[in-house]
Amino acid sequence: MSDVTTETVISLENVSVQLAGKAILREINFSVREGEFIAILGPNGAGKSTLLKLLLGLIKPSSGTIEILQRPPRRGNQAIGYAPQHRVLEADLALRARDVVGFGLDGHRWGPGWPSRKRDAQIEQALQEVDALRFANEPVGQLSGGEQQRLLIAQALLSNPRLLLLDEPLASLDISHGQEIVTLVERVCRTRKVAVLLVTHDINPLLPVVDRVIYIAHGHSAIGTPEEVITSETLSKLYGSPVEVVRALNRLFVVGAEM
C-alpha cells in the first residue's frame, strides 16, 4: 500500500502460540493497513487457522502482543467479518439464501429472525454487494458451492467490518467459480477499503490482485509481495529444507514443500 496515511488494522509483535505443548507459531511479526488484500499461505497444520483464531480473540498468544484497531482481540468484535471454511449444505435444506445471510445479524439463533425494515435493508444490501439477489429466495441447499460461498461473504459484511477474514473461500470451487470469488473479494476490499486476510492453498488465482502474502511454515512466517516471499530462497529458509519455486504458464509452482 502506497498511502502511508491509512490506518493500521492489525499489528502483531513477537507473537508465539503453544497448544498442547507444541509450538504452532514462533515470534510472528507483521502489520496490516486498511484496504490491503493479503493471502495467507502454508501447508496443512502450519498455523493458518490458528492465526485467524488469534485475531478473532478465540485463543490467546503464549507471548507477544496483538492489536486489532489499536485494541486487544476480543470475541464478537463487530469490526471483524469472518467467513469460516465452507461446507456444502444439504440439498434438502429448505432455508432461503437470504435467511442464511440474516444469521449474520441474528447470531446463532435458529430461524430467520424477527422481521424489520432495517434488518431487511441490511440483508438486501449485502446480497446485492455479492451479486446474490438473483437467488436470494432459493433454498440454500440447492445452490452451487460458489453461490453458497457468496452468502457466507455477504453474512460477514453485515456488521460493516474494518477487517474481513476468509478461511479458504476457494476450496472445492472450480477455476471459474474460484475466479468469480476472487474478483468479488477484491471489489469489496477496494470499494470498502476493508483489510482482507484470505487463507488459501493456491496463490495463483490471487496473484493479479493481492498486495502481499503471509507464508507460514514450521511455525515461522514471511510477509511481503508474492515476488518477495514466494521464492526458492525464502521458502527453503522457512521450511528448513530445499524448496524450488518454478514459474510456468504464468503460474507459480512450489516443489518440495508439502501443501
- Contact in structure between 255 and 243 (CB atoms under 8 Å): yes
Coil, strand or helix at 239: helix
Q: How confident is the model at residue 221 (pLDDT cuts 50, 70, 90)?
A: very high
What pTM value is reported for the model?
A: 0.90
Mean pLDDT of 158-177: 94
Sheet holding 195-199, edge to edge: 80-83, 163-167, 195-199, 37-41, 212-217, 220-224
With a cut of 50, say whether residue 1 has pLDDT above it: no
With a cut of 80, say whether residue 39 has pLDDT above it: yes
Average pLDDT of the residues of the chain: 90
Alpha helices per DSSP H over the chain: 48-55, 97-106, 117-129, 145-157, 175-192, 226-229, 232-239
Mean pLDDT of 235-252: 90
Q: How confident is the model at residue 114 (pLDDT cuts 50, 70, 90)?
A: low
What residue type is assigned to position 76 of the chain? G
pLDDT digits (tens, 9 = 90+) for 76-87: 999 999 999 876
Q: Give me the CATH code for the 8-90+160-255 domain, please.
A: 3.40.50.300
- Contact in structure between 55 and 229 (CB atoms under 8 Å): no
Domain ranges of the chain: 8-90+160-255
